A and B are shown apart, each in its own frame.
Chain A
Amino acid sequence: MLHMEKHMPGQTIIQKIFAAHTSAGALVAPGSIIWLDLDVRTARDFGGANVVKNYRTHYGDSPVADKDRTFFTFDLVVPANNIPYANNQQLCRVFAREQGIKVYDVDAGIGSHVALERGLAYPGSTFVGTDSHLNILGAVGAFGQGMGDQDIAFAFKTGRTWFEVPPTMKVVVNGRMQPPCTARDLTLAVLGRLGSNGALGRAIEFTGPAVEALDLPGRITLASLVTEMGGIIGFIPPSEEVIAYARQRSGRRDIEGVYADPDAEYVEVVEVDAPNEPLIACPPSPANVKPVREVAGRRIDSVFLGSCSNGRFEDFAAVAEIVEGRHIAPWVMASVVPATREVFEQMLHSGVLETLFHAGFIISNPGCGGCASGHIGMTGKGEVQVSTSNRNFPGKQGDGETYLTSPVTAAWSALKGEIAVAE
């Protein structure tokens, strides 16, 4: 039906990925509801126990749709620091053994990052789990989505879910960034512009020279805060570097990027300038973005480096470069939580770990750290924290106040004991 294809309107990235993951001929237009085939379905220690409970209630001992495409990824409270979490993790482990499902256990690190490193998510693929930041997989042009425990139990059993096709907006980031600005500052510029619900119910496609110039860790940072913009997913069209990484990690030579048609339709196009100075998200919300200089000088009690936003080796290497041969302020508690075991190993072999240790940092095993007050990095009443994580809602990381910045700004702040503009 070549004739018909000629007249089809241009397709966005999400339309193309969805069309390749639903029944042939289904209408994949914004607002239509489709059955979406899920390449990989996962649950973490948060939500996982309820997934198992729902599964057993509704499907008993019957097998999951495909055990080789179903995983548990424990990352939130690792190893468990309280008995209820230990119970929930063990409940998932027992279920996984019964079903023959692989568990990336408490040693592995953040599930979404493990998925990228192990090639479980790659350009054009679909991936769901109980982590609300799974749309981070848009960093490689994959469709990732966090879902509730009923949704995931259903996906374990059926390998699919219903999904309303969201409209797509385009965010163009113009210009080029110069140090000390990083991908995190670019991300905060976009978040400040869109606000906490500027992308509500939408997919985003990020383009423009400043986005194209980002390496994979930078793309991960940008994609990691789409949830805080209210977005369903934020795609960064894969570069050659990203495609080569995905092919190598997955062992699939046939992976290709999925790109929008030139005449694809967008509900809105937003242009943002790449920031020319470091930015910071002040309490009480990630979208409360200001230049760092406006709050510089505020004395701090703690620093948290890590999370799915900025827990890559490159993030810690940038910090190590700044603190090399120096020591953090004596009144500051500063903790480092690598995203994954692979990141930890890179830090070990490169000397970054040693540099951070001598500078006075607390170094923890991989995982989500202080996010969702899970483990390392919780705050007490009155405590002022600078963090590279992605949320600073009241009560999120504890009773204190959390400021969100780049690792570079966090490093300078740790050295000076106050919120500081990078030198």
Chain B
Amino acid sequence: MKPTQIQGRLWVLTDPQGRLYDDIDTDMIFHNRYLHITDVAQMGQYTLDNLKGWQDFARKAQAGDIVMAGKNFGAGSSRQQAVDCFRALGIGAIVAESFGAIYKRNAINSGLPILTLPGLTDMAGRFQTGDSLAVDFATGQVVLNGGQVFLGEPFSQVQMDIYQAGDLFAYGKLLGAGT
């Protein structure tokens, strides 16, 4: 069983005015000039390099870190690279107020933990880059610096099943699909 509770250093994606970024689209996460790259290990270095103020994110992030954003994170294209680049960096989870529909599927299918935290934008000021965040995928509970508790949406059954299996392919094999 993979852990359903993680703890990590937080990156709060804020815009140049200091507000939590909404509508971060897949071109900002992984720009289309790198789309020919098919090797996941090569993708990490380009993560967020088209997002104003975060061009150096890939150099600063460490495995196990947790990323936080506002509404509609991962809007736009269907590119899997926008998920895989975070996996390449070893990011532990992405917490956002909401996710783009295709992005949500892609993250679930590749086993990257994502958690929806309703109302996050209104309380964004409480979270700072460098804070410690604990996330429980099974209950949706988010704990800030060992104190304040917030309630996000727990993983759906299929999300947990795919996460535990590893990815969509491993999950499919468990179900006897595609074998």
- Chain A residues engaging chain B, CB cutoff 8 angstroms: 33, 46-47, 49-50, 53-54, 58-59, 82, 84-85, 87-88, 130-132, 146-151, 153-154, 157-158, 160, 162, 164, 166, 196-197, 200-201, 227, 230-232, 285, 372-374, 391, 393-396
A151-B77 contact, Cβ under 8 Å, with A49-B38, A395-B28: no
B7 located at the interface, meaning its Cβ lies under 8 Å from any Cβ of chain A in the complex: no
Please pick, from A59, A87, A146, A393, the residue contacting B27 in the complex, using a CB distance under 8 A: A393
Q: Are A285 and B23 in contact (CB under 8 A)?
A: yes
B25 located at the interface, meaning its Cβ lies under 8 Å from any Cβ of chain A in the complex: yes
Q: Are A85 and B101 in contact (CB under 8 A)?
A: no
Q: How long is the Cα–Cα vector from A223 to B25 in the complex, in angstroms?
A: 20
Q: Which 10 A-B residue pairs are closest in the complex by CB-CB distance?
A: A84-B36, A148-B106, A148-B80, A157-B178, A146-B78, A197-B72, A132-B78, A58-B169, A158-B177, A132-B77
* 15 further A-B pairs in the complex, CB-CB below 8 A; given A50-B80, A150-B80: A33-B157, A49-B38, A58-B178, A59-B178, A146-B77, A147-B105, A148-B110, A154-B172, A157-B178, A158-B177, A162-B158, A372-B77, A393-B76, A394-B27, A394-B28
Mostly, the B contact residues are loop
**Contact string, B138-176, partner A, CB cutoff 8 A, digits 1/0?**
000000000000000000111000000001110010000
Q: Are B78 and A130 in contact (CB under 8 A)?
A: yes
Return 10 A-B CB contacts under 8 Å, by A number.
A50-B38, A58-B169, A132-B102, A148-B83, A148-B106, A150-B109, A150-B168, A158-B178, A196-B72, A372-B27
Q: Which residues of A contact B178 (CB under 8 A)?
A: 58-59, 154, 157-158
B98 located at the interface, meaning its Cβ lies under 8 Å from any Cβ of chain A in the complex: yes
**Contact string, B27-52, partner A, CB cutoff 8 A, digits 1/0?**
11001110110100000000000101
Q: Are A373 and B32 in contact (CB under 8 A)?
A: yes
Shortest Cβ distance from B77 into A: residue: A132
Q: Which residues of B contact A54 (CB under 8 A)?
A: 169
Q: Which residues of B contact A88 (CB under 8 A)?
A: 36, 38
Distance in Å from the Cβ of A304 to the closest Cβ of chain B? 16
B113 located at the interface, meaning its Cβ lies under 8 Å from any Cβ of chain A in the complex: no
Please pick, from B27, B32, B102, B172, the residue contacting A147 in the complex, using a CB distance under 8 A: B102
A230-B50 contact, Cβ under 8 Å, with A46-B35, A85-B36: no
B92 located at the interface, meaning its Cβ lies under 8 Å from any Cβ of chain A in the complex: no
Q: Are A150 and B106 in contact (CB under 8 A)?
A: yes
Q: How long is the Cα–Cα vector from A157 to B38 in the complex, in angstroms?
A: 20
Q: Which residues of B contact A132 (CB under 8 A)?
A: 76-78, 102
B71 located at the interface, meaning its Cβ lies under 8 Å from any Cβ of chain A in the complex: yes
Shortest Cβ distance from B83 into A: residue: A148
Q: Are A393 and B106 in contact (CB under 8 A)?
A: no
B100 located at the interface, meaning its Cβ lies under 8 Å from any Cβ of chain A in the complex: yes
B20 located at the interface, meaning its Cβ lies under 8 Å from any Cβ of chain A in the complex: no
A200-B98 contact, Cβ under 8 Å, with A47-B80, A85-B36: yes
Q: Which residues of A contact B33 (CB under 8 A)?
A: 373
B89 located at the interface, meaning its Cβ lies under 8 Å from any Cβ of chain A in the complex: no
B95 located at the interface, meaning its Cβ lies under 8 Å from any Cβ of chain A in the complex: no
Q: Which residues of B contact A33 (CB under 8 A)?
A: 156-158
- Counting chain A CB atoms within 10 Å of each CB, the highest count among B31, B83, B109 belongs to B109
Distance in Å from the Cβ of A276 to the closest Cβ of chain B? 29
Q: How long is the Cα–Cα vector from A157 to B177 in the complex, in angstroms?
A: 8
Q: How long is the Cα–Cα vector from A158 to B177 in the complex, in angstroms?
A: 6
Q: Are A197 and B102 in contact (CB under 8 A)?
A: no
Q: How long is the Cα–Cα vector from A197 to B72 in the complex, in angstroms?
A: 6
Q: Are B23 and A196 in contact (CB under 8 A)?
A: yes
Q: Are A200 and B110 in contact (CB under 8 A)?
A: no
Distance in Å from the Cβ of B95 to the closest Cβ of chain A? 17
Shortest Cβ distance from A233 into B: residue: B101
Shortest Cβ distance from A87 into B: residue: B36
Q: Which residues of A contact B98 (CB under 8 A)?
A: 197, 200-201
Distance in Å from the Cβ of B158 to the closest Cβ of chain A? 5
A396-B101 contact, Cβ under 8 Å, with A58-B169, A59-B178, A197-B72: no
